[in-house]
Structure 1
């Protein structure tokens, strides 16, 4: 098990380029299963979860060619469906949350798929009902083996259907869309997720020959086609990493420029950090964060305490609430953090409290942060990363803290952040991988 040794208290300075979007990659990579023609994808992040998914696709028979550091060509013209019956596939599926994204493409093109309950972050319940209910409406037949193995088959071609999703699930919407593009007739998906990741997937599928209307809204209409062709696709920069770097700059009093952010795709993320008092300047498609000695949390017009909560797009992504929480720990003022979607995601605050932060965990979904206003620094401790986003929040806290911190289980951070220690060290951080 790897760990980071962090010597904190030093401001950083320089430019950093965000990686490709992890959450987009997990969908886009599985979409290559929908066609026998070559698909070239660029700006792929070099992170553990994505590399495991590429390895899974290769073991399923997809031809994988690495054209550049961040660019691969895929061709799924000889998929080994029998590989899904092997113990190796079961082990891969259990280790990777993104493995769930093969369900829609495999069902649409080959009429069947099976999957063990996928792994991933331990952040609370993450049911797959939206995926399977949608796929069943298209004609899939689900069989459960125990509580942790799923088989889904179709008798003949899938058929379009109307559906109102109970949950605007990003991955659920993506899976249903990938199945519907090859179904007969019209599929209407209401309460569809409309995150930029889903928009990117839909735009890629349209270039491959799919017929999708309503991209960017919560009402998608899909006219099924007989087959899809190949395409080239470039992924967006990772909005979660961009938000993490904004928070890092504020927490450590650093002057940082984040390059090539595709600002128009960031939604409310910049304004959310502005509510914490963080100064941002857009320079073309770059975000410049000046060094700040202090930053102050805004209040509502009547003077009441600000609440920052997650929501479906275009609301704030839940993946950034851990970052917002840790940054608020050194702000002037008070904020209520309301994590609506996952009931275990705030439990990492006990580490921040041990470092000296003033945080009240109200219940599994809410925490009140009373900012220290940088009157005192946090102090270094030894802690463990529980999930990807909390891990980076703890890394930001450690970089701002006085003294030495050790963060264990940094494989969790590696799942979502590309060579984060080397990239931050280039800005002046002191992070040593143990």
Structure 2
């Protein structure tokens, strides 16, 4: 198990380039299964979760060629579908939650798709019902082997378009259903569809391959089925979760940092939400400039004077993946804030580690925490901790970089799952961080 040792309390300075978006990459990579022609994808992040999926695709028979840093060619013209019934596939698929999104493309193209119960972060219940209810609506039959924890969908006579109202605006569920529907017979209408930038990018890529998807960017998608799709070239957006992480890092360490090439138009409420904590964010072209907050930052209040409440919601609401960062940043703000994690019931349980570091946090229940900021009158104390998941892990790393003394973070593979070459990039702006195996 890998470990980071972090000497905190240092101001950082410089430029940092966000990696390609992890959540987009997992969808886009599964979409290469929809065509036998070559698909070129650029700006793929070199992280554990994405590399696991690339390995799974290679085992499935996808021809993969690395063209350069972050750029790959994929061709799915000779797939080995027997791999889907193998013990190796059960092992490969169960280790990555994003593997669920290979089912839609396989169902669309070959009339069948299988997946073991996927893993991922332990952040509470994350149902797969939306995925399979969508496939069933399109005419597929569903089966689940409870003993082997193995899912399967089959449509030997093909899929047929249908109107459906999703019970939840699941991002991966919407992506999976869209990829299944693009080659279904007739028209599919998906209401209450997720509309995150990742999903918008997937739809734009599919349209460039010959799909007919309208309503992109809204929660009502209309898909006219086509017989087949062709190849394309696609570039993945910068990772907005990483961009938010670097904003939080700059504020907590009173550092002057420029985050380059952020694609402002796709950041949604992220800059606005950090501004609610009093953080100064300047737009310089397509870059974000964060000045050193040497005088701290003050939480805003609502117009009626009540305590600031920051909560997550499906897009275009504030992404739940950044709520852990907001919570950590609030520990040194001037003022108090209520953090309401609505979408996952276990994501706030990492706050006990922040409390051990001296943060003033009241965990009200699994979904809500009240943070009373220190206003830098007292710094967080260095400690030893273990990263429970990707987002909590980066939050603890930010806390450690702001804390006085040397902190140790174990289980950093969780951080590596979502952040590329993180210690080298942090060192480039002056962080004191070392990886110890």
Q: Give a deviation string over 1:267-312, Cα, whole Å, max 9, x none.
A: 0000000000000100000000000020000000111100000001
Give runs of aligned pairs for residues 38-117 of structure 1, distance below 5 A: 38-117=38-117
2:381 to 376, 379, 382: 379
Query: What's the secondary structure of 1:25's corresponding residue?
Result: helix
Paired position in structure 1 for 2:283: 282
Distance 1:426 1:410 in 2: 19
Distance 1:154 1:226 in 2: 16
Q: Give a deviation string over 1:332-353, Cα, whole Å, max 9, x none.
A: 0000000001000000000000
Distance 1:351 1:330 in 2: 15
Distance 2:173 2:97 in 1: 13
Query: What's the secondary structure of 1:288's corresponding residue?
Result: strand
Query: What's the secondary structure of 2:51's corresponding residue?
Result: helix
Unaligned runs of 5+ in 2: none
Q: Is the 8 A contact 2:11 2:253 kept in 1?
A: yes
Paired position in structure 1 for 2:216: 215
Query: What's the secondary structure of 2:65's corresponding residue?
Result: strand
Q: Give a deviation string over 1:350-390, Cα, whole Å, max 9, x none.
A: 00000000000000000000000000110100000000000
Q: CA deviation at 1:51?
A: 0.4
Distance 2:409 2:126 in 1: 26
1:392 aligned onto 2:394 = yes
Paired position in structure 2 for 1:8: 8
Paired position in structure 1 for 2:158: 157
2:313 to 311, 328, 332: 311
Q: CA deviation at 1:135?
A: 0.7
Give runs of aligned pairs for residues 219-298 of structure 1, distance below 5 A: 219-293=220-294, 294-298=296-300
Q: CA deviation at 1:69?
A: 1.1
1:203 aligned onto 2:171 = no
Paired position in structure 1 for 2:358: 356
Distance 1:88 1:111 in 2: 22
Paired position in structure 2 for 1:407: 409
1:343 aligned onto 2:345 = yes
Query: What's the secondary structure of 1:394's corresponding residue?
Result: helix
Q: CA deviation at 1:114?
A: 1.0
Q: Is the 8 A contact 2:112 2:156 kept in 1?
A: no
Paired position in structure 1 for 2:194: 193
Q: CA deviation at 1:66?
A: 0.1
Q: CA deviation at 1:199?
A: 0.3
Distance 1:99 1:119 in 2: 9
Q: CA deviation at 1:421?
A: 0.8
Distance 2:394 2:248 in 1: 10
Distance 2:218 2:196 in 1: 9
Paired position in structure 2 for 1:416: 418
Query: What's the secondary structure of 1:118's corresponding residue?
Result: coil
Distance 1:379 1:312 in 2: 34
Paired position in structure 1 for 2:132: 132
Query: What's the secondary structure of 1:297's corresponding residue?
Result: coil
Q: TM-score, normalised by structure 2?
A: 0.99
Paired position in structure 2 for 1:146: 146
Query: What's the secondary structure of 1:359's corresponding residue?
Result: strand
Distance 2:358 2:144 in 1: 47
Paired position in structure 2 for 1:332: 334
Distance 1:409 1:251 in 2: 23
Distance 1:430 1:31 in 2: 40
1:431 to 419, 428, 433: 433
Q: TM-score, normalised by structure 1?
A: 1.00
Unaligned runs of 5+ in 1: none
Q: Give a deviation string over 1:161-220, Cα, whole Å, max 9, x none.
A: 000000000000000000000000000000000000000000000000000010000000
Find runs of 4+ consecutive structure 1 residues off by over 3 angstroms: none
Paired position in structure 1 for 2:17: 17
Q: Is the 8 A contact 2:40 2:233 kept in 1?
A: yes
Distance 1:67 1:412 in 2: 28
Query: What's the secondary structure of 2:33's corresponding residue?
Result: helix
Cα RMSD (Å) of the superposition? 0.5
Q: CA deviation at 1:155?
A: 2.6
